[in-house]
Structure 1
Amino acid sequence: MKVTTPLIKAFVIFPMNIMGVIPGFLLWSSREGGIFEKYPLNFDLIRSFPGGLLIGFGASLCWVSVSLFSEYGGGGTPAPYDPPKLFVARGVYTYVRNPMMIGVILVLLGEAILSGSLPVFIWALIFFQACLVLIPFWEEPDLENRFGEAYLEYKRKVPRWIPKLKSEPRTD
């Protein structure tokens, strides 16, 4: 993946805040004397494996998704203010339409499980609810306008959230 200034900017604005800054603030606020003091952190060795697994898998899914945009998107980034110029429907995108968002949600759930933090778990649910609204009502209409019939066909074949067990063949 070619790391560019716009890609770094997109990472700092979106995933770093969603997966790092906000959960970090919530965890910091759970310390004694914090605003979420009544929801103390509860790190546990038993939860470290599933939490770490979700974080690792989710981060990998985000990385692969961004890499595909970077390599095949014809410039631009995953950020809405600088979108890819070309329609990307390969790799993980042949199994599910929103692998990057699924990756972010898995990271958030992993952070919540690993830390035993109710506020981080609630943040994961809030983020997922926002995705359930923004993707079909804002992102998908934008993609339909930009990529036309190619995106409409893709929508018919590839599910939004639950990955298919068999990928759709590439059409490019």
Structure 2
Amino acid sequence: MMPQSQLPYTFFILLVEAQNEWCKGSCGEMKWKWGNVPIPIQHLAGLILGTMLQVSVPRPIFNDPRVGNILGLVIAATGIGIVIWSVIAAGHVDIESPQKLVTSGPYARSRNPMMFAWTLIYVGIALVANSVWILALLVLVILVTHFADIPKEERFLENQFGDEYIEYRHRVRRYL
């Protein structure tokens, strides 16, 4: 049996392989760019610190960890699906230094689908790990994301794309 820690990664690989197989000959060139899969440092830091606290002073969320496993895997899988959809929608655009504003796919519904997706993955991991600490640190992760990362990114995009980004910002919500 596969360790639980490998399940999200395995699910991600299976989704990519399934799409590659499904698209053979009909989707044209695959639009996958690994550089467009940024892992936000605040999410990673929250997971690491929360795990350290959980190991030192265990605080489970559920008495029966199977509840967290089921909920967590569904939530994390949803987040992984949104990450995959976002990367495919971005195509060959380098999201770290874009020359084109991506407004299709999940970007038509959210200006920050990746941040939303990473937050879902974070929550899923917290539930699977059955850790109050990881979940509690989510508040700090969200605050850093909302007040530091997103405004910086929005200023960059407004400078890069001007009126096109301003119109997009008015048309599409920040998160959902």
Q: What is the distance in 2 between the residues matched to 1:160 and 1:16?
A: 17
Counterpart of 2:54, as a letter, is: S
Q: Are 2:174 and 1:155 aligned?
A: no
Aligned residue in 2 for 1:57: 78
Counterpart of 1:66, as a letter, is: V
Q: What is the distance in 2 between the residues matched to 1:44 and 1:160?
A: 33
Q: 1:137 to 1:59 in 2, by over 3 A?
A: same
Q: 1:126 to 1:156 in 2, by over 3 A?
A: same
**What TM-score, normalized to structure 1?**
0.71
1:66 shift after superposition: 2.2
Q: 1:106 to 1:55 in 2, by over 3 A?
A: same
Aligned residue in 1 for 2:135: 121
Q: 1:161 to 1:16 in 2, by over 3 A?
A: closer
Q: What is the distance in 2 between the residues matched to 1:64 and 1:30?
A: 32
Aligned residue in 2 for 1:168: none
Q: What is the distance in 2 between the residues matched to 1:39 and 1:45?
A: 16
1:47–1:114 CA contact under 8 A, matched in 2 = yes
Q: What is the distance in 2 between the residues matched to 1:157 and 1:21?
A: 32
Indicate the structure whose relative CO is greater, using CA pairs within 8 Å and at least 6 residues apart. Answer: 2
**SS, match of residue 162 in structure 2:** helix
**What TM-score, normalized to structure 2?**
0.70
1:117 shift after superposition: 0.8
Counterpart of 1:127, as a letter, is: V
1:62 shift after superposition: 1.4
Return the structure number with greater helix share: 2
1:21 shift after superposition: 6.8
Q: What is the distance in 1 between the residues matched to 2:47 and 2:115?
A: 16
1:93–1:99 CA contact under 8 A, matched in 2 = yes
| Correspondence list, 1:57-76, <5 A | 57-69=78-90, 71-73=91-93, 76=94
Aligned residue in 2 for 1:30: 54
Q: What is the distance in 2 between the residues matched to 1:55 and 1:92?
A: 17
Give the one of 109, 116, 122 matched to 1:102: 116
Q: Are 2:39 and 1:15 aligned?
A: yes
Q: What is the distance in 1 between the residues matched to 2:171 and 2:122?
A: 28
Give the one of 48, 59, 83 matched to 1:39: 59
Aligned length: 145
Residues 9-42 of structure 1: per-residue CA shift (max 9 Å, x gap): x75xx418555575255325422xx2xx243586
Residues 60-105 of structure 1: per-residue CA shift (max 9 Å, x gap): 1112212222x152xx2x3xxx422211100111111111000011
Q: What is the distance in 1 between the residues matched to 2:50 and 2:118?
A: 17
Q: What is the distance in 1 between the residues matched to 2:67 and 2:118?
A: 23
User: Identity over the aligned pairs, expressed in percent?
Assistant: 21
